[in-house]
Amino acid sequence: MIEYSTLLENFVKLLKENKLKFTKQRELILKTLYDNDGHFSTDDIYAMLKEEHPELNIGIATVYRTLSLLEDAGLALSISFGKDGKIYELGLKKHHDHLICQSCREIIEFVDEVIEEKQKEIAKKHNFKMLDHTMKIVGLCEKCQKIDNI
Amino acid sequence: MIEYSTLLENFVKLLKENKLKFTKQRELILKTLYDNDGHFSTDDIYAMLKEEHPELNIGIATVYRTLSLLEDAGLALSISFGKDGKIYELGLKKHHDHLICQSCREIIEFVDEVIEEKQKEIAKKHNFKMLDHTMKIVGLCEKCQKIDNI
DNA sequence: GTTAGTGCAAATCGTTTGCACGGTT
DNA sequence: AACCGTGCAAACGATTTGCACTAAC
């Protein structure tokens, strides 16, 4: 995994290149994604920052704006599902897909080279230029299967 | 492909079983999905019904309610993408995945048995009970690649 | 006659935007 | 000093809901 200091350097450079400013808010949102290696909704991140940095008095609009900025920059990526289901994660990992537990919302990441390869083939066969691809397996994790059977 | 009359019978039966009523609105929404083999947003269907059956004076709320009902019943299924991107299709076909053109919104369906098999394996390996799975390849179709290069 | 469905308009919820102010360059 | 980012509150757009009325049973 990339060091936080390196990540931060990249971010600062990227901002500079685009004549954007480096603010405490932007830094903390990036850091939150980095430190809490996981998947969070805009609101999750807003709540975490409210909790951990109340002095910032951050606004939800800033969280929306920043996550969107990070996504455009390739530093974060989002997964959407059903209505009201959009979560972000740090965008620097190798491409991977997700298993999502419908009940507890646990998320497991996985990579399968055979599937990756097949997807390329399919796009090619249909003369599509593939820009993005996502796969989600929704179901019940081990724990929730047991609970649901009670 | 299933006959419309059979589909309708199933629908009527299903409604009866759940003490729900068979209305003109419900029938026409199902028929619209059946006749126009494709992928439509709630608004698309609303517009089509306004156009083709102005005497019905259908309300958008009914379209939302009915599509949701059809989805629960397994007669329709939805695909979501990015904000404001939810479309429905008739839900009686064999499972398939989608190639989506980012530019013109063309949608191509495909099935790949190798991928299907791999997904089962992955769920099993993680002790997940797979309930649903979706794969989307987003990109540019042949036509739009050319246009975008001008 | 009872119950469920409908259209309408209002409410809701996540997200975006305009603006005046404050922070970064 | 110039300009961008921020918080706030208002605006927005898709979807949902409460209600009185109508249609299906």
Q: Mind listing the pLDDT tens digit for each residue in A99-119?
A: 988 777 788 899 999 999 999
State the average pLDDT over residues B12-22.
95
What proportion of chain B, given as a percentage, has pLDDT over 90? 63
State the average pLDDT over residues A4-17.
93
Report the pLDDT value the prediction gives residue B117, as an integer from 0 to 100: 93
Stated as kind and residue range, the H or E segment containing B8 is helix B4-17
Q: Which residue has the higher pLDDT, B83 or B33?
A: B33
State how far the Cα of B58 lies from the Cα of B48, in Å rounded to an integer.
11
Q: Which burial class, exposed, middle or buried, applies to A99 when counting CB atoms under 10 A from its CB (0-12, 13-18, 19+)?
A: buried
Report the pLDDT value the prediction gives residue A51, as an integer from 0 to 100: 92
Q: What are phi and psi of A82, to 5 degrees?
A: 30, 175
3-state secondary structure of A122: helix
State the average pLDDT over residues B72-90.
83
State the average pLDDT over residues B131-140.
87
Q: Is A129 on the interface with B (CB under 8 A)?
A: yes
Report the pLDDT value the prediction gives residue A83, as an integer from 0 to 100: 63
- Do the Cβ atoms of B140 and A128 come within 8 Å? yes
Report the pLDDT value the prediction gives residue B147, as an integer from 0 to 100: 66
State how far the Cα of A20 lies from the Cα of A17, in Å rounded to an integer.
8
Check pLDDT > 90 for residue B63: yes
In chain B, what residues touch A131 (CB-CB under 8 Å)? 102, 138-140
**Nucleotide with smallest C1' distance to residue B62 CA:** C6
State the average pLDDT over residues B24-43.
94
Q: Is A138 on the interface with B (CB under 8 A)?
A: yes
Q: Which residue has the higher pLDDT, A143 or B27?
A: B27
Please name the residue whose C-alpha is nearest to the C1' of nucleotide C17.
A61
**Partner residue opposite B138 with nearest CB, options A132, A139, A141:** A132
Q: What are phi and psi of B40, to 5 degrees?
A: -135, 145
Q: For chain A, where are the alpha helices, taking DSSP H only?
A: 4-17, 24-35, 42-52, 60-73, 113-125, 142-149
A-proximal residues of B, 9-68, CB under 8 Å: none
**Partner residue opposite B141 with nearest CB, options A114, A128, A137:** A128
Residue B150 binned pLDDT confidence (cut-offs 50, 70, 90): very low
Check pLDDT > 60 for residue A121: yes
- Counting one residue from chain A and one from chain B, the pairs whose CB atoms sit within 8 A come to 112
Residue A150 binned pLDDT confidence (cut-offs 50, 70, 90): very low
Mean pLDDT of the residues in chain B: 89
State the average pLDDT over residues A18-46.
94
Instruction: Residue B51: count other Cβ atoms within 10 Å of its Cβ.
Output: 8
Please name the residue whose C-alpha is nearest to the C1' of nucleotide C24.
A21
Check pLDDT > 60 for residue B149: no
